[in-house]
Amino acid sequence: MSYNLIKKSFDLGDGRIIEIESGKLAKQADGSVVVKMGNTMLLATVVSSKTAKEGVDFLPLSVDYQEKYAATGRIPGGFLRREARLSDYEVLISRLVDRALRPMFPEDYHADTQVMISLISADTNILPDCLAGLAASAALSVSDIPFNGPISEVRVAKIDGQLVINPYLSDLTRASLDFIVAGSENDITMVEGEANEISEEEMIEAIEFAHRAIKVQVQAQKEMTVEAGKTEKRAYSHEHSNPELRERVFAETYEKVYAVAKSGVSKHERSDKFSEIQDAFIVSLGEGVDDITKSLAKKYFHDVQYDAVRNLILDEGIRLDGRDVRTVRPIWSEVGYLPAAHGSAVFTRGETQALTSVTLGTKLDEQMIDGAFFNGYQKFILHYNFPGFSTGEVRPNRGAGRREIGHGNLAQRSLKKMMPADEENPYTVRVVSDILESNGSSSMATVCAATLALMDAGVKLKSPVSGIAMGLITDEKTGKYAVLSDILGDEDHLGDMDFKVTGTDKGIVACQMDLKINGLRWEVLSAALAQSKEGRLHILNEIKKTLAEPNPELKPHAPRIEVLRIDKEFIGAVIGPGGKIIQEMQRETNTTITIEEKDNQGVISIFAPGKDAIDKAVKRIKSIVAKPDVGEIYEGKVKSIMPFGAFVEIMPGKDGLLHISEIDWKRYESMDGIFQVGDEVRVKLLEVDKQGKLKLSRKALLPRPPREDKKPASE
């Protein structure tokens, strides 16, 4: 069978090759490609409806990334043994691709569009997330779907002081920064990642380095578009238009909207006033107006809001709540708000509020990750919840959506860099952030609230972390721009950029940037980063006013953990046959005990609600793993009696022979009547022979009787 096979390949600059192939698989999709690097292969397909649904005024785009377990030679867990709903990791990659693609579609394109990316083969040392955006864009490039691309995504990391594109997984443990960067030939559209308290200059250097690699990948896709014969895209007409109506809407509502935007009223009052202006205009159209005209009037009114708010900021430097572009909204915070939690905090910034709790658990509470590519356990977990009431809406609670997973991940990666090492923090830590009010950047409020809650719990953070969301308003005609600190929800919606930056007083630890425009100049990005540092440090100082460093002790009701390290040879003795000994200890001491082999040692974690229970368990374990010392005195228990002496247990599982000659200074002819099994006897360890047998003495602890003088024979 013949294929219209198209292949492109390019070098990452160090001899590693990425290949793109189209025309062999999934040919009934509008576009499909296979991207390969090493043994990692992604199949990306895209399908878009030929028509748009009536009344839809947005792009219904869905992006799904899924890992096939067969790609890594694994069988899924669970009862069904098949791939199920997307994991958090798969959702996060789907979001990365969605955020890079969505701004590149024409604004008036409203057809249902689905992008599906599947990991079909995996090289365990080559991460697939940095290839997913390239695969999706390449599939669009060989289709006739309208798309203002191509784009690509790459990972940029600094390893041992050198910037690397798409590094191996094994090298990432040494990375001081790790970003996924998306962009077109001319512009950066998305950045997300984490770092070890880097400077703003170092971040810009990494993004510029990534963009050079993106340009190479974009050029390869352009060549594929030509070879596939898809330079002409499909015709479409998804929007009605009425220029006369648009002019009328602007003429009759712009000044009113501008005045409301300038009034500085609260979010809900402003929304109500905008609705009143819109409703009044709709009424002015008359009773016989058709639904299409009403829909167009609402669309044009949104355009009025867009222009009025942006012009107010660019021309007068005034924002919707009356602030200037640099001012951060008022902040108040409180720790210990939840008396029964192990740690808690409330953080409020303007009309955004997060209530956050910390729970300390055992190793048994670690989160199990069962993915095709990643599987294992993690002991720091952060969950973010965004209920409808936080924005005054009625919305059913259907569990965590993609937004909640993405915001929670940003907060988690911001804080995990500052979590203490395992040796200092043996707990599994779960942070839950519930957003109670939202008007801009609830994910950054989560970072701040979580910092306070962790310090309230006594978790020894290396440094407190704060975060801020930056916005951008630009005018392409005049070149004017305004960078906004601590953006509102409306400024996010109507602006050109949402740039979240988190960090300590030493530098940046995580970021997430989404651009909605083409042509972000590097000087604008530099200005945004400089302004974000100013705002971030201001918020950090406000946090420190509430709690500057971790509490020295855990809460009185917080559980305690004691960690012991023992010789590897004693692991079996502590566990016992079939787990008998460790289960008995847990039951009798009211503790939870886990044991694992690490660094050629046994690491035992003892978890209990109070210190007394831990002390009992520690004593039991130490008695099991202790090595008998010659010369030491022990309180033993008679385990068995023989004609030549008694076997006495001086430690759990360690018996020694108390020979009949070592019981007393006087001579015994037999063992009859001397001891009973179970008798307690105090003995001294005299010797451990080459076979490890213990020789005990009771006689050595008794005073020696005086010697009787013998009379001379003559007497």
The CATH number of residue 414's host domain is 3.30.230.70
In a domain, 65, yes or no: yes
Q: Report whether 498 belongs to an annotated binding site.
A: yes
Which CATH number does the domain housing residue 653 bear?
Answer: 2.40.50.140
Helix ranges (H only) for 197-290 are 200-228, 243-262, 267-284
- Report the pLDDT value the prediction gives residue 512, as an integer from 0 to 100: 95
Q: Which helix (H) or strand (E) holds 45?
A: strand 40-48
Residues 486 and 426 in one domain: yes
Q: In percent, how much of the chain has pLDDT > 90?
A: 67
Six token digits for residue 710: 């013998």
Residues 208 and 65 in one domain: yes
Which CATH number does the domain housing residue 572 bear?
Answer: 3.30.1370.10
pLDDT tens for residues 87-116? 999 999 999 999 999 999 999 999 999 999
Last residue of a domain, one of 261, 291, 316: 316
In a domain, 189, yes or no: yes
Compute CA 102 distance to the chain's CA centroid, rounded to the nearest angstrom: 23
Q: How confident is the model at residue 137 (pLDDT cuts 50, 70, 90)?
A: very high
Q: What is the mean pLDDT of residues 588-613?
A: 88
Number of H helices, E strands in the chain: 13, 29
**What whole-number distance in Å separates Cα of residue 11 and Cα of residue 19?**
9
Q: How confident is the model at residue 464 (pLDDT cuts 50, 70, 90)?
A: very high
pLDDT tens for residues 414-436? 999 999 998 888 899 999 999 99
Q: Report whether 492 belongs to an annotated binding site.
A: yes
Q: In percent, how much of the chain has pLDDT > 70?
A: 98
User: Residue 278's domain spans which residues?
Assistant: 243-316
- Report the pLDDT value the prediction gives residue 712, as an integer from 0 to 100: 52
How many structural domains is the chain composed of? 5
Q: What is the mean pLDDT of residues 131-139?
A: 98
Residues 522 and 605 in one domain: no
Q: What is the mean pLDDT of residues 13-42?
A: 95
Residues 444 and 492 in one domain: yes
Which CATH number does the domain housing residue 258 bear?
Answer: 1.10.10
- Report the pLDDT value the prediction gives residue 715, as an integer from 0 to 100: 45
Residues 200 and 276 in one domain: no
Q: What is the mean pLDDT of residues 490-517?
A: 92
pLDDT at 710 over 60: no
Last residue of a domain, one of 316, 341, 358: 316
**What whole-number distance in Å separates Cα of residue 432 and Cα of residue 450?**
8
HEC per residue, 158-191? EECCEEEECCCHHHHHHEEEEEEEEECCCCEEEE
Q: What is the mean pLDDT of residues 632-649?
A: 90
In a domain, 385, yes or no: yes
Q: How confident is the prediction for the chain on average, in pLDDT?
A: 91
In a domain, 552, yes or no: no
Q: Are 152 and 137 in contact (CB under 8 A)?
A: yes
In a domain, 708, yes or no: no
Residues 188 and 58 in one domain: yes
Residues 664 and 602 in one domain: no
In a domain, 235, yes or no: no
Residues 576 and 642 in one domain: no
- Report the pLDDT value the prediction gives residue 368, as an integer from 0 to 100: 86
How many Cα atoms occupy the beta-carbon half-sphere of 126 within 13 Å?
20
Crossing angle (nearest 10°) for helices 129-141 and 200-228: 40
Q: Are 658 and 681 in contact (CB under 8 A)?
A: yes
- What is the pTM (predicted TM-score) of this model? 0.86
In a domain, 238, yes or no: no
- Report the pLDDT value the prediction gives residue 654, as an integer from 0 to 100: 80
Q: Are 444 and 467 in contact (CB under 8 A)?
A: yes
In a domain, 248, yes or no: yes
Last residue of a domain, one of 573, 592, 625: 625
Residues 452 and 506 in one domain: yes
**What whole-number distance in Å separates Cα of residue 344 and Cα of residue 359?**
9
Residues 587 and 464 in one domain: no
Residues 590 and 508 in one domain: no
Q: What is the mean pLDDT of residues 445-472?
A: 96
Q: How confident is the model at residue 711 (pLDDT cuts 50, 70, 90)?
A: low
For residue 72, CA distances in Å to 42, 119, 360, 697 come to: 13, 9, 34, 62
Six token digits for residue 198: 């880097």
Residues 19 and 161 in one domain: yes
